[in-house]
Chains A and B, each alone.
Chain A
Amino acid sequence: MRKILNEKGDIIENSTKGFLEAYSRIYESVPDAAGCFLYRNRRKDKVVLVVGGGSGHDPLFGGFVGKGLADACASGNIFASPNPQIIVETAKAADAGKGVLFLYGNYAGDNMNFDMAEELLDLEGIKTAHIRVWDDCASAPKDRIEDRRGIAGDIYMIKIAGAACDAGLSLEEVVKVMEHAGENISSIGLAASSCTLPGQDKPIFELGENEIEYGMGVHGEPGIERTVMQPAEKLVDRMYAELKKEMDLKQGEELAVLVNSLGSTTLLELNTVYGDLYDHLKEDGLTVHDTEIQRWVTSQEMGGFSITLLRLDAELKKYYDAPCCSPYYAKEQIQ
């Protein structure tokens, strides 16, 4: 795979430089923390939201720093969590005296590095808490939910956490809202082709020309079934069945839906997927409150998509509907 990269310098630093220069009116970098930046108009006198994780999933995580979303982002190398030092620097720069909520995907490296950062911040008297996103229902059975990985559900989690911080809730209250949100968000992905990490020669996994894999993770983690390619309706049938069972969806419930491209899958395809999915939702008497068809959580040029469902109640709907704005996610109040 040909990648458009500089001859010199660090791959991530070169990319971050372009991003921050393009959006310099919105963002400022964190001193002494390469790849980390802050929303210029970040929260004052409220709990602040700091997100982060490995790079290479753009626009996740940095693209979701902004109004109504995260206050800052700490990014690591490609597919590797940020180190404790840059997380600490980012949190200190963002802190507004009411505590820092870290939100990140549930991966061993992220968990360990953010935990260490929290211990260091505690020594400096900064109050912290964390929420780990584990929305991928194909990554482990329900009784081992803490082994599940975070995928596109990250975005809904950031959205709701941002709105809860904006509402002026305490750190403990925001955590409570987010635990409730986490229980009502599930995703499943499907891989149709592999990807190559910038700087490496070989793709991160092999998938035959006519093969697909249900439930494969955004770092190529093996999924629940590898089979031959099928028409979109069949793919959606299987994925919806998994989500319906997982979430125990019932007639009359209200959902927000995200159909997300893993990289190279096009809008034409994603729209087709949503058309198929909508038929199932309608047939089961579910109400779609809102839908996003986006390329938000990617693995370079990986082919495939994920479906994320968020079950809304009055509380989650209030936060979901709150306005937000970043270069990748803009929402006005739904009328």
Chain B
Amino acid sequence: MKTIHADQCRDMVIAACDAIIKNKPYLTEIDSAIGDGDHGIGMSGGMEKAETALKGKDFATVADVFKTTGMTMLNSMGGASGVIFGSMFLGGVKSFGTDPELNCKNFSEAMRAALDSIQARGKASVGDKTMVDALEPAVAAMEKSDTEDLTVMLGEAADAADTGIEATKNMIAKFGRAKSLGERALGHQDAGATSVGIIFRAMAEYLKTTE
């Protein structure tokens, strides 16, 4: 479909929250290999709060959905992930303006703005073994996509994120605890990138169910 209304956008984000909450043990396992082991706890905690803030509420604009999600995550999670994943939703709020509907164009513009704000804040580039390694290819896929079908575009973005996650296995970390591991972090995928992949896949799957 070409567009979804803000209320469906809310349900799409709730689907992403559910997927992160369900994958808490998986994210913990991945993060324990080379990080603090608290990524799954932090993410699922933030997503639980975001889900509570979204559920049963009516939203007039797409921006409201993303702002509520991002602010709730930012002001409940703490840690680096609170700022980074909060910004994934907050960074694009301005570019949605007052649009009541989500479409391919405003979504890809918003995610580009979110990526820019994450990189300005966290200083990570592609290749540093962070969530940017999944988000950047996902955003690029959205921009490159010549479809006007949201479901198709999100599917492409999720595939690109998955490729990005796989690539983090061959990277030496420049941020977080894994930074000090040097080559010992090779072979392990980044937990933040994994979360990005889970979020995109869940949004794509939600859109399929609304067809």
Contact = CB atoms under 8 A, between A and B. Distances in A.
Interface of A: 54, 76-86, 108-109, 112-113, 115-116, 139, 147, 197, 199-200, 202, 204, 217, 219-222
Contacts of A115: 121
A277 to B, nearest CB: 26
Contacts of B37: 197, 200, 202, 204
A81 B78 contact: yes
Contacts of B83: 84, 109, 112-113, 116
B79 A78 contact: no
A113 B177 contact: no
A259 B80 CA distance: 30
Interface residues of B, number: 26
B180 A77 contact: no
B184 to A, nearest CB: 8
Contacts of A222: 180-181, 184
Contact of B75 (A83, A197, A219, A220): A83
B182 to A, nearest CB: 8
B186 to A, nearest CB: 14
Contact of B80 (A86, A112, A202): A112
Nearest to B174: A147
A84 B74 contact: yes
A187 B82 CA distance: 29
A197 B38 contact: yes
Interface string B18-45: 0000000000000010001110011000
B106 interface: no
B187 interface: no
B174 to A, nearest CB: 10
A115 B87 CA distance: 14
A220 to B, nearest CB: 7
